[in-house]
Amino acid sequence: MKKTILFFIAVLLIIGVNVFADDVSIDSFGNITTGLSSNGNLEVIGASGEYGIVGMASDTGGAGVYGENRTGINVNYGILGYESYGVYGYSLNAWAGYFSGHTRVTGNLTVDGTIINTGIGDITGVTAGIGLTGGGSLGDINIDIDFAGSGTSDIAARSDHNHDTAYSPLSHDHNAEYYDKSYIDSLEARIVALENSSAPATIVFTPTSLTITDATAGTVWDNASFTITVTDTNGVPLSNVILEISFPFAKSAVLTSGYFVELLDDGVVTESPMQATTETNGTYVLNFRYQRGGGVAYVSDISVTSGTQSATATFTVAAS
Judge if pTM exceeds 0.75. Answer: no
What is the pLDDT, as a whole number, of residue 107?
80
Q: Look at 291 and 152; give whichever has higher pLDDT.
A: 291
Report pLDDT digits (tens) over 224-281: 999 999 998 888 888 888 899 999 999 999 989 989 999 999 999 999 999 999 998 8
The topology under which CATH files domain 202-318 is Immunoglobulin-like (2.60.40)
Report pLDDT digits (tens) over 153-188: 777 777 666 666 666 666 666 665 555 677 777 777
User: How far is residue 155's CA from residue 46's CA, in Å, rounded to a whole number?
Assistant: 64
Nearest to 229 by CA among 199, 265, 200, 204: 204
Segments making up each domain of the chain, as ranges: 8-91, 202-318
For residues 194 and 209, the answer to whether their CB atoms sit within 8 Å is no
Q: Half-sphere exposure (CA, 13 Å, Cβ side) for 158? A: 4
User: How far is residue 318's CA from residue 320's CA, in Å, rounded to a whole number?
Assistant: 6
83 band by pLDDT with thresholds 50, 70 and 90: low
For residues 263 and 247, the answer to whether their CB atoms sit within 8 Å is yes
Report pLDDT digits (tens) over 9-46: 444 444 444 444 457 666 666 666 666 665 556 666 65
User: How far is residue 187's CA from residue 177's CA, in Å, rounded to a whole number?
Assistant: 10
**Contacting residues for 199 by C-beta, under 8 A, at least 6 apart:** 233
